[in-house]
Amino acid sequence: MDNSSILSGAAPDTSRDSSGSAPGNRSLRVAENEKRRSERDPVRSALSFLSQVQDGTIVKGNDQLEKSLVVVETVALGRGLPPEAVSLLLDLALSLRAGSVNCGRILKFLIPASVVPQEAVVRGVSWLCVGRLPMNSQVLFLRWVLTVFDLIDFKDHLRAIYGFIFSFVTEENLAGFKNYNSTWKATLTAVQRKNRGDVTADLSLTTELKEKPASRKRKLHHLEVPALSSAFDTSAERKVFRLQEMRTFEELLQNIHNIELPAQMGSLLGSSLALHFLDCVQDESAFLRLNFWLGHSLQEEFLLCSADGGSDSPDEVARFLNTVLSSQQFLQEGFFSTESFLYKFLSVWDGSLLRTHILDLLSHIPLMPSHYIKILVFEPLMQLYFTSTVFFKCSVIECLNNMLVKWLTWHSVNALEEGLDISLNSNGTVTMTLSGFMDTVIELVRFVGRLASEGLRLENCHVLLLSQTLAFYETVCDMFVRYGLPLVIMPPAGVFYPALLATDSLSVDRLGYIMYRYRKNLTLAKKQEQQSEQTFHISRNTYQEFNQHLVAMVSCLWNSKSFLPGTGIEIDKQMLLQSKVSEHWSHFDLVHHPAFFKYAFEFHQKCWPARSSVDLASIKVGKYWNWYVEFLFSQGFDGLSDFIQVNTGHSSSSGSSSQGDGHQTNQER
């Protein structure tokens, strides 16, 4: 009975155990199968676990999380990640569900095997806007986006946030990162080589690396304008046209609203039609992308290469800078990335490397507040100027003159009628008041005055340096009449007197033209001030400086009263006696002046051919003086003619300059 009871009882028990444990056995079998599958495919298991990580998950000491990240990291660095894995991990990192430390870790090994889903990047940008990400994670994410930009599968939705992305990377705290794609570049290149058959994206700028040379120095191999190639989405609903397919300006106008921006914005620099397109559409995001590309190229492939001594191809750099210059001239404005590059480069420049190109670029920089231009431009230029040759000094003065002309031209074209608010850039919102504009111009003119005065002293009034200096003041003397800027600044004594006492007649003639135009500008300013047509006021010191220069010039050239008291040029009487020069007061008039001595001698020979001795003083007697002055005017000294007629009352019988602005007209022709 007992046995039967046990047996009879055993049967039901056995049946109950079997029926009750069936689900458990199946669970065990499923778990075993999952374990075996996970052992066979640990990546899938790791990704499955990571997809289930929620906010508030304990990160520290979480072995399963660590194990999953290690598995995915190993695969990512070895053969790259599929698109769905990239999306999953990017969302995990930027949402901070795995913690801020793991956010940076995941971004660093986020290497795509083929393409990057557009929606993953868009979601990433949305996480960026939340404001929870630490600054280093923001920087890392944007660096990653820029590195894999050409691997993004579609860009139709991404295009809407171009402006945000590229304006974000130009912020002060993000724009300074060096070699932005170095974190992923080598690994991504290796992965692309393994998966070359599956990749069609163009990585010519951001990821492609040439074989490393034997030398460890950096080599210039990217500093060139890429070919036009559109980031063309074949799945886009609207019809779009590639820029490289455009052949005529008419085609460009017909399709202006359906043109796809190129994958590499730098390719715009190599095409006049592309520059027309850029100028017509005025797309801020396009300018931001172009400036980022250009800034990276100049920073990484030129500035840092030059610092490392690895520049073997100056011709290549020169061609690239010529392309940038021609593009800026075409658009009639500079790129702010070029400006940033110049400000950094000036601090390390030796003054000889690509001098022409650097100074040409420098002459295109836009107006900025006076205290900034003093620090960023004037101080480094001054150090180079005083330790360089006379030819470099001439180049610097010429560069600053071109800069001033561009500023004044820009002002005359773009200033508002009221003159209260002036936009600095057609693609920006930075503004400057008229008084701020004038402050910067004053700083520039006075800076050149200091450079020129000291340079002429150091170089013994070298004729080339004096010529460039006078060219600068030919611009300065006409700022009010020609450019509409209510400002008059006289040249310093260190410029005026070397020109007045110069040994070449062209310098004296140009000084005469400059003084003539100063008089025109001051007269008009005074007239408008009296009629209340203009609100600005010319200071008394400016009039005093002009009158002092005027008296000195008339006394010297016309009245034969050089170096006498009250003439503006006074030299100690004892020094004049020690020179043992008789009648020193007359040695710089129009007859005896070293610049006109040969003309006086020629005139003397024509008037008195039979005389065996030369007596130049006879030229100043009676009608011969007027004849001689007319003879000088006939030699093409229009500036001197205008100056003498306006300031001495002498009228030309030929009437060559009787119209007042005759010299200006000749100059413009």
Cβ-based neighbours of 291, under 8 Å, separated by 6 or more: 166, 170, 335, 336, 337
Cα distances from 197 to residues 118, 164, 220, in angstroms, run 21, 34, 28
pLDDT (tens digit per residue) in 619-631: 877 788 888 888 8
Strand partners, 259: 241
Measured CA to CA, the distance from residue 605 to residue 597 in angstroms comes to: 12
Cβ-based neighbours of 5, under 8 Å, separated by 6 or more: none
Q: Check: CB of residue 164 under 8 Å from CB of residue 125.
A: yes
Question: Residue 277, class by beta-carbon neighbours within 10 Å (0-12 exposed, 13-18 middle, 19+ buried)?
Answer: buried
Angle value at C-alpha 9, between 7 and 13, nearest 5 degrees = 115
Measured CA to CA, the distance from residue 467 to residue 2 in angstroms comes to: 131
pTM over 0.75: no
Cα distances from 138 to residues 91, 98, 163, 177, 397, in angstroms, run 14, 16, 16, 12, 44
Strand partners, 81: 112
Spell 414-446 as b/e; 16+ CB within 10 A means b. Answer: ebeeebeebebeebeeeebebebbbebbebbbe
Amino acid (one-letter) located at 97: R
Structure tokens at 404: 């001033």
Angle value at C-alpha 257, between 253 and 260, nearest 5 degrees = 105
Query: Which of 84, 221, 90, 70 lies closest to 145 in space, CA to CA?
Result: 90
Q: Check: CB of residue 259 under 8 Å from CB of residue 277.
A: yes
Query: Which of 84, 51, 46 lies closest to 68 in space, CA to CA?
Result: 46
DSSP string, 113-127: SS-B-HHHHHHHHHH
Structure tokens at 319: 């061609």
pLDDT (tens digit per residue) in 293-327: 888 888 776 766 554 444 456 788 888 899 999 99
Amino acid (one-letter) located at 434: L
Query: Which of 47, 48, 104 lies closest to 75 in space, CA to CA?
Result: 47
Diameter of the chain measured on Cα atoms: 171
Task: Say what the pLDDT of residue 457 is.
Answer: 94
Our measurement of the distance from residue 364's CA atom to the centroid of its chain's CA atoms, rounded to an integer in Å, reads: 7
Task: Say what the pLDDT of residue 287 is.
Answer: 83
Measured in degrees and rounded to the nearest 5, phi and psi for residue 242 equal -85, 140
Query: Which of 319, 484, 459 lies closest to 385 in space, CA to CA?
Result: 459
First to last CA, the chain: 135
Helix (H) or strand (E) holding 573: helix 573-579
Task: Say what the pLDDT of residue 293 is.
Answer: 85
Amino acid (one-letter) located at 141: F
| 3-state DSSP assignment of residue 235 | coil
Cα distances from 563 to residues 491, 572, 581, in angstroms, run 20, 9, 12
Measured CA to CA, the distance from residue 404 to residue 442 in angstroms comes to: 10
User: Which segments of the chain have a pLDDT < 50?
Assistant: 1-20, 172-173, 175-176, 197-221, 232-236, 307-311, 416-421, 428-429, 654-669
Task: Say what the pLDDT of residue 384 is.
Answer: 93
Angle value at C-alpha 231, between 226 and 235, nearest 5 degrees = 160
Measured CA to CA, the distance from residue 76 to residue 70 in angstroms comes to: 10
The stretches of 347-389 forming alpha helices (DSSP H) are 355-362, 370-373, 379-385
Measured CA to CA, the distance from residue 78 to residue 74 in angstroms comes to: 6
Given phi > 0 = left and psi -120 to 50 = alpha, else beta, which region is 81? beta
Task: Say what the pLDDT of residue 617 is.
Answer: 76
Spell 146-162 as b/e; 16+ CB within 10 A means b. Answer: bbbbbbbbbbeebbebb
DSSP letter, residue 230: B
| 3-state DSSP assignment of residue 431 | strand
Query: Which of 354, 366, 290, 274 lies closest to 322 in space, CA to CA?
Result: 354
Structure tokens at 83: 């698109």
Amino acid (one-letter) located at 483: Y
Cβ-based neighbours of 657, under 8 Å, separated by 6 or more: 633, 638, 641, 642, 645, 663
Please report how the helices 540-557 and 505-530 are oriented relative to each other, as an axis angle in degrees rounded to 10: 140
The stretches of 118-223 forming alpha helices (DSSP H) are 118-130, 135-147, 162-168, 172-175, 182-194
Sign of CA dihedral 150, 152, 155, 160: negative
Measured CA to CA, the distance from residue 367 to residue 376 in angstroms comes to: 12
Amino acid (one-letter) located at 254: Q
Measured CA to CA, the distance from residue 342 to residue 303 in angstroms comes to: 10
Amino acid (one-letter) located at 456: L
Secondary structure string (H, E, C) spanning 591-611? CCCCCCHHHHHHHHHHHCCCC
Looking from the CA of 400 toward its CB, the CA atoms found within 13 Å total 32
Helices (H) and strands (E) in the chain, counts: 30, 4
Task: Say what the pLDDT of residue 238 is.
Answer: 53
Domain ranges of the chain: 37-193, 256-302+314-347, 366-558, 590-649
Measured CA to CA, the distance from residue 137 to residue 507 in angstroms comes to: 62
Task: Say what the pLDDT of residue 9 is.
Answer: 38
DSSP string, 403-429: HHHHHHHHHHHHS-TT-S-EES-TT--
